[in-house]
Amino acid sequence: MGNAAFPVTIGSQPRVAERASTRARVASIPWYVWCLAAAVSSDAFGGYWDISWHISIGRDTFWTPAHMMIYLAGVLSGIACGYAILTTTFGSSRELKDQSVTIWGFRGPLGCFIATWGAFAMLTSAPFDNWWHNAYGLDVKIISLPHSMLALGELGISLGAMLLVCAQLNRASGAYQQKLDRLLIYIGGIEVFGAALFALESTDAPFMHSSSFYRAMATTFPLVMLAISCVSKSKWPATVMAGIYTVLFLACLWIFPLFPAQPKLGPVYQHITHMIPLWFPTLLIVPAFALDLLRQRMGERWGNWKSGVSAGCVYLAVFVAAQWPFADFLMSPLARNRIFGTTYFGYFDPANILYNPYRFVPSDKTQAAFYGGMMIALVTAIIFCSLGMALGNWMRKVQR
């Protein structure tokens, strides 16, 4: 009987190993998905670095490390999506072909096609941006024409990455689904970080008692957080995304001033010896937590137009309640230290020379204008919350 049992034991080992290998393979996220997530990260960090470089040193050359990090995102996206599309188109895997869409004779995941377009737009904007600076000099605004073209490319890469992960998440189950869910939330957090950079000109501390600040905060942020919250299986997706944004902004605020820098353009109003970071992050994590609580309370009703209205009202009300008094603190002497970073100014900023930077900017000329602006902010929050839910409900159905 011992001899009879022996071949059974030996024969079962390859089958067990094969099943274990299959489970490991199923629970492993493809490298090109990670590569696309790395592209999103590279773009966001490069964007922060680039803005800091502009206000610390000035745009001395196109070949700055920050620019290279931004355009690395386009390269990584092209590599990842090119591999996925060519492998699906010319490969023999029936499973990959069934999980793909066809565009111009090529087959691949929908997210890869969108991200490929984004990479092309990003890389095309590079020489345009270089010409723009040679023709017009230093940026006076973040949202210039080449930067807008770059932003469209970045949007394509970000949306493509989210759709690629969503397509796999919607088909997955078990441990693999949990991995994809965490990756999706991470990408969402990076997108919130990037949205904060694009809204930078409207979200400085002196604007925090103006309706324009709350209108700016009512766009993009709830759209991204609610879209991913509709797809995610996590209990606290919006809170985690806002937490990622907060941690990254704080890390940059505290780390960037450790590196030396010196202005190379003029006029120079501030004595700069080290890199200038951006300002303290807004308290976005507070309304994000409230949105997660609202989502849990509404359950299956979450995602319709009524929940969009509720989410918009909760988002803006909670954010105003948290940010308004915190803005008073940021303008006080207690915040003028390295922790809160209200003492950092770009080399071209005449703060403390030609104006007092610790006073709120009265962008609303009258009280009636302020209340009217806040009503617009509320409507904006409702619209973008509803759009976020609509986008999330669509992404929840994406399979390819």
> What pLDDT band is residue 64 in, cutting at 50, 70 and 90?
confident
How many whole angstroms separate alpha carbon 85 and alpha carbon 81?
6
Per DSSP, 275 falls in state P
What single letter denotes the amino acid at residue 310?
A: S
pLDDT greater than 60 at residue 9? no
> What pLDDT band is residue 3 in, cutting at 50, 70 and 90?
very low
| Separation in Å, CA 388 to CA 300, 309, 312, 393, 395 | 16, 12, 11, 9, 10
pLDDT averaged over every residue in the chain: 85
> What pLDDT band is residue 26 in, cutting at 50, 70 and 90?
low
Beta bridge partners of residue 351, listed in sequence order: 355
Flag the least confident range among 81-90, 273-282, 334-343: 81-90
SS3 102: strand
Residues 6+ apart with CB under 8 A from 357: 206, 345, 349, 351
How many whole angstroms separate alpha carbon 28 and alpha carbon 139?
44
The residue that leads in pLDDT, 104 or 181, is: 181
State what percent of residues in the chain have pLDDT above 70. Answer: 87
pLDDT of 322: 97
SS3 content of the chain, % helix, strand, coil (to 5): 70, 0, 25
Burial grade of 79 (CB within 10 A; 0-12, 13-18, 19 or more)? middle
How many whole angstroms separate alpha carbon 109 and alpha carbon 168?
10
Q: How many C-beta atoms lie closer than 10 Å to residue 134's C-beta? A: 9
Helical residues (DSSP H) of 299-357, grouped into ranges: 305-330
How many whole angstroms separate alpha carbon 331 and alpha carbon 320?
16
How many whole angstroms separate alpha carbon 142 and alpha carbon 366?
28
For the range 334-342, what are the long-range contacts, defined as Cβ-Cβ under 8 Å and sequence gap of 24 or more? Answer: 335/280, 338/254, 338/257, 339/254, 340/280, 341/253, 341/277, 341/279, 341/280, 342/205, 342/279, 342/280
pLDDT of 153: 80
Answer yes or no: are the C-beta atoms of 270 and 347 closer than 8 Å: yes
* Per-residue pLDDT tens digits for 229-253: 999 989 999 999 999 999 999 999 9
pLDDT of 237: 95
Predicted TM-score (pTM) of this structure: 0.87
pLDDT of 14: 47
The residue that leads in pLDDT, 98 or 330, is: 330
Half-sphere exposure of 390 (CA within 13 A, CB side): 10
* Per-residue pLDDT tens digits for 360-388: 988 888 999 999 999 999 999 999 999 99
How many whole angstroms separate alpha carbon 223 and alpha carbon 252?
24
The residue that leads in pLDDT, 67 or 325, is: 325
